[in-house]
Amino acid sequence: MAPVLTLRGLTTVFGKGTQELRALDGVDLTVNAGEIVALVGESGSGKSLTGFSINGLLPANARITGGSIDLSGTDLRTVPAREMRKIRGKEVGMIFQDPMMTLNPVLRVETQMRDALRAHDPLPRAALRERLIAALAEVGIAAPEQRLRAWPHELSGGMRQRVAIATALLHSPKLIIADEPTTALDVTIQGQILALAQKLCKERGTALIWITHDLAVVAGIADRVSVMYAGRVVEEGPVDAVLDAPAHPYTRGLIDSVAANQPKGTRLPMIPGRMPLLSDLPKGCVFAPRCSRRSALCDSTSPPPRATGQGQTVRCHHPLTEPAGALA
Amino acid sequence: MAEFILRRILQALLVLFVMTVLVFFGIHVIGNPVDLFASSECTKACLDEIMVNLGLDRPVWQQYLIFLGNLAEGDLGRSFTHGVPAMSLIWERFPATLELAVAALVLALGIGLPLGFYAGLRPESILSKVIMALSMIGFSVPIFWIGLILILTFSVYLGWLPAIGRGELVSVLGLEVSFLTLDGLRHLAMPAFTLSLLMMSMVIRLTRAGLREVMTSDYIRFARANGVPEYRVLGWHAMKNLLIPIVTVLGMEFGGVIAFAVVTESIFSWPGVGKMLIDAISVLDRPLIVAYLIFVVTMFVLLNLVIDILYSLLDPRVRLGAGAV
Ligand SMILES: Nc1ncnc2c1ncn2[C@@H]1O[C@H](COP(=O)(O)OP(=O)(O)OP(=O)(O)O)[C@@H](O)[C@H]1O
Ligand SMILES: [Mg+2]
């Protein structure tokens, strides 16, 4: 099966010249149809930026300087900016973190959804309405006709996120990028939204990138996981393999710092130090300054991606599991 | 809603009461109007007669009570100098001022919104910097100076536009307007532009600042991520959020523009209420001054009401109710 999305060496920078900051450096990512790939990493590791690089909504001071973004055969980097609009929403959907902020406070739900629908599908008004009602019903919203007339502030957080999901799904895009869509919701609602996303994705064969920093969510929803650190993917592989036998010391540290993984009453182990600033990245491995397995090699050379026995790919000179050999 | 309006009216009545007391006693302290407008041949007896006629011979508190009594019957008194009801003088002049102010508002929005939009979208471009610098001038340079420079340039030097007065009028629904005739427009252009400058500068700044904030919001990103065309994202999704601060500020400003069109009307000899007020003050024509101020306060109250209603239409989170005052 051909993948829906393949990122090869994606590199995105902020600023120009000597001020240039490399926020994404050689990001590789593959998502197949019907597959859920989690993108994890601490704040500032470049998860959102990866999403915005894909659908061309980078901030004005950012630009892609290298790599390719292959969406079922089309390199999105070669698509002119004005043509990208036709891809957004139709081929690539996006859901954001805070449902309080994703819906425009001064437009009715109907107006916002109608605009999203008409962006790619100029239907007559009555047909539009019917499609919208059906879309809301599909994400489990009761009394969709009334919800359609509602203002965003009249809906609960979970309801708004459902509206956002319904909107992003209107054109059944091949790929959906969900940027921490459950972080702002309470736990029960979180579970419902996760289940909903999983169900819709599997039913429709949508490729889903789920950005999060919650490993419990990763375990619950994803098929594969990519761990990001300082703009690089440091480890990638099937969820079970990565979570059970992480190869990168950073992944290990992330897993260990989750309370549920530790015996009661013990202090949570923390990864010492903090992520380096983009303006001050180490010369070799970006994780070296915080790593317990650091050697002279780590300080001098950036580790290339290598495959491990369990189908993982890791960027580490001293991985926790035995490497199967260097990857081309 | 009804309670809201009622509360507004009560507030207005209180303001009116305080204002009339201040003006009445204030003018009494300043001087005797009769001394100012009676002809110099008038003898002491003749002066006394005028005083009696105008009711100025009584103690000032009695005059005030009489005024309140008349006011309760809807009578604002007669102008000392013109001898006709003060209100009819104001009504005669007001359409000119209103036309000037509305034209200024239209110019402020019509020019200010696009310029502010451009400056907000391309903050780094040279043109944006020029726009922002000009808007700074709009804030800081006095109106009369701009008015005079315009007259010098377009009337004296180039000879394109008439410097003073109001042009040819046509009657629309009983209202005399000048903007529908070419001559009228030519007369209207400079005073309206002059009067609009401050509002225009505000619109430019508010639009630019608002747009820059709105454009980084998640809901704009979401709309774009859904493929909504840029004209729709900017022209409606962003615009409706921008209009909230603009309507608020312009709403407050517009009353002031009408009330203090005085300077512009004086420069261009525009026959509006502002000019009338200046004349009335110079001869202490108390009924006319008081009537004008009552008129202005009432207009402010109505305007605020309109703004609140507009506001609740623009922002669904605002509902007019008991709490909203
Ligand atoms: N407008 C900008 N100008 C300069 N640097 C930026 C800008 N926006 C983001 N960055 C930098 O890009 C890097 C990646 O940011 P990104 O938003 O992708 O992080 P993230 O992994 O999504 O974090 P979070 O979990 O907090 O959402 C960060 O180091 C951030 O400081
Ligand atoms: Mg993010």
DSSP labels, A301-324: SPPPPEEETTS-EE--SS-SS-EE
B48-101 pLDDT, tens digit per residue, is 877 777 777 788 888 888 888 888 887 888 888 888 888 888 888 888 898 999
B220-275 pLDDT, tens digit per residue, is 999 999 999 999 999 999 999 999 889 888 888 888 888 778 889 988 888 888 88
Residue A175 · residue A93 · CB < 8 Å? yes
Q: Which residues contact A292 (CB under 8 A, 6 or more apart)?
A: A249
Residue B64 lies inside a defined structural domain of this protein: no
Here the CATH number for the domain that contains residue A87 is 3.40.50.300
Q: Which residues contact A79 (CB under 8 A, 6 or more apart)?
A: A56, A87
Would you call A89 an interface residue with chain B, using a CB distance cutoff of 8 Å? yes
Amino acid at A129: R
A233-269 pLDDT, tens digit per residue, is 999 999 999 999 999 999 999 998 887 777 777 777 7
Residue B20 · residue B294 · CB < 8 Å? yes
Residue A231 lies inside a defined structural domain of this protein: yes
pLDDT of residue A49: 96
Half-sphere exposure of B107 (CA within 13 A, CB side): 22
Residue B93 lies inside a defined structural domain of this protein: yes
Please give, rounded to a whole number of angstroms, the shortest distance from the CA of A179 to a CA of chain B: 11
A169-214 pLDDT, tens digit per residue, is 999 999 999 998 887 778 888 888 888 888 888 888 999 999 998 8
Residue A37, domain extent: 5-108+171-314
CA-proximal residue: ligand 1, atom 26 (nearest): A43
Which of A79, A86, A106, A110 should one mutate to test binding to chain B, selecting the residue with the greatest count of B CBs within 10 A?
A: A106
Residue A147 lies inside a defined structural domain of this protein: no
Q: What is the mean pLDDT of residues A290-314?
A: 89
List chain B residues with CB under 8 Å of A90.
227
Residue B81 lies inside a defined structural domain of this protein: no
**Structural domain total, chain A:** 1
Residue B250, domain extent: 86-314
Residue B299 lies inside a defined structural domain of this protein: yes
**Structural domain total, chain B:** 1
Instruction: Tell me the CA–centroid distance for residue A163 and ligand 2, in Å.
Output: 20
CA-proximal residue: ligand 1, atom 18 (nearest): A46
Here the CATH number for the domain that contains residue B229 is 1.10.3720.10
Q: Considering only CB atoms, which residues of chain B are within 8 Å of chain A?
A: 216-230, 232, 236-237, 240-241, 244, 314-317
Which of B128, B213, B215, B219 should one mutate to test binding to chain A, selecting the residue with the greatest count of A CBs within 10 A?
A: B219
Which A residues 32-51 touch B at CB under 8 Å? none
pLDDT of residue A328: 45
Predicted TM-score of the model (pTM)? 0.82
What value of ipTM does the predicted structure carry? 0.90
Instruction: Tell me the CA–centroid distance for residue B73 and ligand 2, in Å.
Output: 68
Residue A116 lies inside a defined structural domain of this protein: no
Q: Can you give A225-255 as a three-state secondary structure string?
A: EEEEECCEEEEEEEHHHHHHCCCCHHHHHHH
Residue B205 lies inside a defined structural domain of this protein: yes
Distances (CA, A) of A195 to A144, A188, A192, A220, B243: 20, 11, 5, 9, 39
CA-proximal residue: ligand 1, atom 30 (nearest): A44
Instruction: Tell me the CA–centroid distance for residue A178 and ligand 1, in Å.
Output: 16
Please give, rounded to a whole number of angstroms, the shortest distance from the CA of B18 to a CA of chain A: 39
- The most confident of the ranges A120-124, A271-275, B124-128 is B124-128
Residue A197 lies inside a defined structural domain of this protein: yes
Q: Is the pLDDT reported for residue B300 higher than 60?
A: yes
Residue B191 lies inside a defined structural domain of this protein: yes
8 Å CB contact of A85 and B314: no
